[in-house]
Structure 1
Amino acid sequence: MAHPCPDPYPALTGTDRDELYTHVQLHYKRFGWKVVKVRTSTRPTGDVYRVTLGCDCGGRARESISRGIRQRKSRKTGCQWTSDLMRAGDEWTYVPGRFVHNHPPPLKVEPSKDSIRARAEAQARKRAAERGRVRDVLPTMHLGLYRPGPKNSLTDVPGVLVSVQSTQPSPSVNTGVTVILPRREWLTEACHANIFRFNGAGEVTGSHWVQETGLLNSPIVLTNSMSVGDAYRGVLDWAIAHHAKDGQLDSFLMPVVAETYDGYLNDICKMLIKPQDITRGIDLCSDAPVPEGNTGGGTGMVCHHWKGGTGSASRVLPGQELAPTPAPLLESPVNTVPPQTPTYTVGVLVQANYGKAEHLRIGGAPVGRILHDQNAHERIVQQKAEAARHEAEERALREQRRQQQYEEQLRAQTGQQPLLGIDQAFAQAGQLANQLQQAAFQRQSRQSSASDDAQAQAQLRWQASVATHKQRKDGSIIVVLATDAPLNPTQCERLAKRATVGFSRVGGVGHNLSGDIFIAFSTGNSIPVASVARPDGASQADSLRPRARTLAAVDDATLDGLFEAAADATEEAIYNALFMAQSIEGFKERKVEAIPLKWVKEIMEKYL
């Protein structure tokens, strides 16, 4: 069984090799793993340029030669977890390698004793607890006729596996990778698939081959726009490492990589997604519920000017009874097997990075416009209150200066200051104290007003910046649909088209610079992948002699339920991406707020 272990965050670097090694050990010890040095690589000059690290349980298990009560079992499990310390100039960098162990953590995991780290972990848990999926936040909202699957996620479709990885080594880098496997044997067993382009300002590699053949035998990788090449290379690296024979890869492979642009919150030009992130993601794929919000490829995405990201949902609908099949011949009269009523699942995963604030609709309610107007109204009220307070302060200062001028003129006319009695002296001292107190209060008020103004101006700048950026590059949305209903490629394309209905319900329009692409595949049939023809003529099939294959397919007249399920699940998946995302401050100190769920509840109470 695979046991993943998170890599250090942020990335570990240093000039001292031993100190960096200690930091790596401490990081993995927090999660229960013990790291040891395996090998040191040196150049001909004797300089060390690489230190290979491994798990303490790596290596072949050996039988104990001790006897009696002192007999001890070997700790070695053959674990292949590895990583490296690499030298570049005078700096050492920790480079993660294989991500998973083949055994549970051998060390006891203790809570963090670092007060700063513990506080950060507590705050992260608190922020996560404040978010929720749309069904938890709005339990009375109608989300379609069909019930969700047990996990209400893409992984409800049998055989579909997903992994998400976020890459955030520094506040200016917020990106990641989402890997979707149609089935575990994706390289050798294809499934029917097709792609629908609602607006084509985006990239999906391998799309020509999918549309040409109607087959998918590749993971679907979702990442940012400038990491498409590394993701493509990562899929090939995994295939070569696991399936190449004699330096050749027999199966024909065109990796499918889709992208959306996260350059507003992510320093995208650093291109920190590497091929090993994809190979690790393929190894980590599981049927667990998909983590949503700031996860995977959606880590740095913005949706309707609020924090967007990854979302998922599913629908389960009943099929029609299958025709009765004859039972095997027995000694008794011929009997028939009773008909079976199948159920089909439609799962959806979205990477939402599109839309304007005022276009957002939830359950038909114009939530985006109301929030936009509410923010504008609050800013106007706040500005009017600040203006009134400034005017009152200016009026008081003018009155005070006028009184001082009158007293100075009176003293100038008499030519001398009047004598002060004891009572008059105390009165003047009290007046002076009151003036000092009033001046201090006014100074504090001005500072508070300046702080409020700065916050208001920052909010205005943030919204203006997001609006300007989104107008220049509106973003995109990638929608992946999976079903276990046996669909042919044409039906997969029709299913993908219906996802645009859910997309438009939330406020999607398909602007000129928005890459809105929908990918649908069906696991209802398994088609062997064609092998690559070799120069020696060796091949698994004779391509010149047609061969028939029997495939199942849903009757076109009974597709309406699947169409409705696709639209409803897409709508809910986008809601989940918005509701689960958290506020984030990223590249160039740009901040994008999470949609305020409290305000959403108050608004929706008037519409539900």
Structure 2
Amino acid sequence: MSALRPPGARRRGAITDVPGVRVAHVTLEQSAQVRTGVTVVLPHTRDLLAEPVTAAAHVVNGYGKPLGLQQVVELGEVETPIVLTNTLAVGAAHEGVVRELLDRDPDLGRPRTVNPVVLECNDGRLNDLRALAVRPEHVVEAIGAARRARDGHAVEEGAVGAGHGMVAFGWKGGIGTASRVVELEDEGATTDGWGGTLGALVLTNMGRPEDLLVSGRRPEVAPPDPLEEDVDGSVIVLLATDAPFDARQLGRLARRAQNGLARTGVLTDHGSGEFVVAFSTATPLHLRDGDWLRPWFAAVADVVEEAVLSSLRAARPVTGRTGRTAHRCPI
């Protein structure tokens, strides 16, 4: 069965602290073999095709199967909900976004097209990827739930949505989120830059038990049954802000996400896929870069680190397709 996870179950500071941003999950447990799902991040609830958000994408390590990133790099815009799911569900997720938009826009495809952004991690250690359990209707369902959510809603974390079958550092991984308010001195002067809210949402599926760092230290606990099959793993990072960054500046923020990942012990293996998408809900002002960016760069590292650790702390144990269990990390 599919379990639609309504917003409101959990909040520790979330990407939805950025006004307008919504998140929804559809979690799939159709049998003992299926441990997967869909997570949708909606930058705003208006018509994204008519009002795309300014955006940037950064590839830390490109061992992955995302869709839509090249046009984001080229145009500096995101024009659809952003979908997270498992590796073999990318096609179904793409179709789901397209079908939802076709129902909303009678002119789409005649001949104007659209660029869905779909990002993935491999949840095959717990989930039967061959079952192709994620279908387009699950994506439509999640987008609908995100559209109905209230502004500033809580975000459920851990083993939900796209994170249901993910494993991080040998423990149960999944969805994590965090936010920061960035304040600058003399903010009213345009030469001094601007402040605002920065939120992160991560999908964690990476790392070995010995890699994990918490506040710069290795935990004294180890997974009782670490799932370490020959999968290097991946992590997806989404950054959102209400500050009026342009696409180039958002790219600078996106590249700093690696600093937060490194704080948690992410090494970026040969076969890992680390992808970052950053977007702003504000109209860009094209202010010249300067020292005012330093608090933003520090905030990126902070929210990414916190979101990764939150994905571990919030996750419940999940038993997967082979009968093995990914346990919650007691950090």
After TM superposition, the score normalised by the length of structure 1 is 0.50
Partners of 2:215 and 2:205 in 1: how far apart? 20
SS at match of 2:221: helix
- Please name the residue that 2:280 is paired with: 522
Corresponding residue for residue 102 of structure 2:
240
Match of 1:345 in 2: 197
Alignment-mate amino acid for residue 513 of structure 1: G
Residues 1:361 and 2:213 aligned together: yes
Judge conservation of contact 1:165–1:281 (CA < 8 Å) in 2.
yes
Deviations 1:138-182 (A, max 9, x none): xxxxxxxxxxxxx61000011111111101112221100000111
State the shift of 1:521 in Å.
0.8
Aligned to 1:540: none
CA offset at residue 219 of structure 1?
1.1
Question: What is residue 43 of structure 2 aligned with on the other side?
Answer: 182
Task: Please give the alpha-carbon distance, in whole angstroms, between the structure 1 residues aligned to 2:278 and 2:203.
Answer: 14
- After superposition, what is the alpha-carbon deviation per residue over 1:343-392, rounded to whole angstroms, capped at 9, x for unaligned? 4000000000000101101011111xx324xx8xxxxxxxxxxxxxxxxx
Superposition deviation, residue 190 in structure 1: 1.2
**Partner of 1:179: helix, strand, or coil?**
strand
**Alpha-carbon distance, 1:218 to partner:** 1.4
* Residues 392-407 of structure 1: pairs in structure 2 closer than 5 A: none
Contact 1:260 1:477 (C-alpha < 8 Å) held by counterparts: yes
Alignment equivalent of 2:172, drawn from 291, 294, 307: 307
Q: 2:2–2:26: 8 Å Cα contact kept in structure 1? A: no
Alignment identity in percent?
A: 37
Equivalent-residue separation in structure 2 for 1:342 and 1:556 (angstroms): 11
CA distance in 1, matches of 2:2, 2:161: 15
Q: Please point out which of 546, 552, 557 is paired with 2:285.
A: 552
The reply to whether residue 321 of structure 1 matches residue 187 of structure 2 is yes
State the Cα deviation string for residues 53-90 of structure 1 (Å, max 9, x = none).
xxxxxxxxxxxxxxxxxxxxxxxxxxxxxxxxxxxxxx
Residue type at the aligned position of 1:594: R
Amino acid aligned to 1:523: T
- The answer to whether structure 1 residue 223 and structure 2 residue 85 are counterparts is yes
* Count of residues in correspondence between the two structures: 318
Alignment of 1:17-166 (within 5 A): 152-166=13-27
CA distance in 1, matches of 2:64, 2:109: 32
Aligned letter for 1:226?
L
- Secondary structure class of the residue paired with 1:350: strand
Within the alignment, does 1:273 sit opposite 2:134 as a pair?
yes
- Counterpart of 2:99 in 1: which secondary structure? helix
Q: SS of 1:189's equivalent?
A: coil
Q: In structure 1, which of residues 354, 360, 371 is the aligned counterpart of residue 221 of structure 2?
A: 371
- Matched residue type, 1:241: D
CA deviation map 1:200-243 (0-9, x unaligned): 11122111111111111111100000000000001110111011
Check whether the contact 1:496–1:520 (CA below 8 A) recurs between aligned residues.
yes
Flag the structure with more relative contact order, 1 or 2, with Cα contacts below 8 A and sequence separation at least 6.
Answer: 2
Change (3 A) 1:9 1:499: closer
Q: Distance in 2 between matches of 1:248 and 1:193?
A: 23
Structure 1 residue 563 displacement after superposition: 0.8
Q: Deviations over 1:76-113 (max 9, x none)?
A: xxxxxxxxxxxxxxxxxxxxxxx9xxxxxxxxxxxxxx
Structure 1 counterpart of 2:71:
209
1:233 & 1:570 partners in 2: Cα distance? Answer: 29
- The 8 Å contact of residues 188 and 251 in structure 1, kept in 2 or not, is answered as no
1:485–1:554 Cα contact (<8 Å) kept: no
CA distance in 1, matches of 2:113, 2:31: 38
Match for 1:257 among 118, 133, 147? 118
TM-score computed with the length of structure 2 as normaliser: 0.91
Equivalent residue letter for 1:371? V
TM-fit CA distance, 1:490: 1.2
**Structure 1: gaps spanning 5 or more residues:** 1-7, 11-98, 100-127, 134-150, 325-340, 376-458, 526-550, 601-608
Kept in 1: contact 2:2–2:27 (CA 8 A)? no
Q: Output the aligned Cα RMSD.
A: 2.1
TM-superposed deviation, 1:250: 6.6
- Residues 1:573 and 2:331 are matched in the alignment: no
Alignment of 1:274-289 (within 5 A): 274-285=135-146, 286=149, 287=151, 288-289=153-154
Alignment partner of 1:479 is 2:237:
yes
Per the alignment, in what secondary structure is the counterpart of residue 497 of structure 1?
helix
CA contact (8 A) 1:240 1:249 kept: no
For the pair 1:563 / 2:321, whether they are aligned, the reply is: no
Matches of 1:214 and 1:239 in 2, distance apart? Answer: 21
Q: 1:492 aligns with which of 239, 246, 250?
A: 250
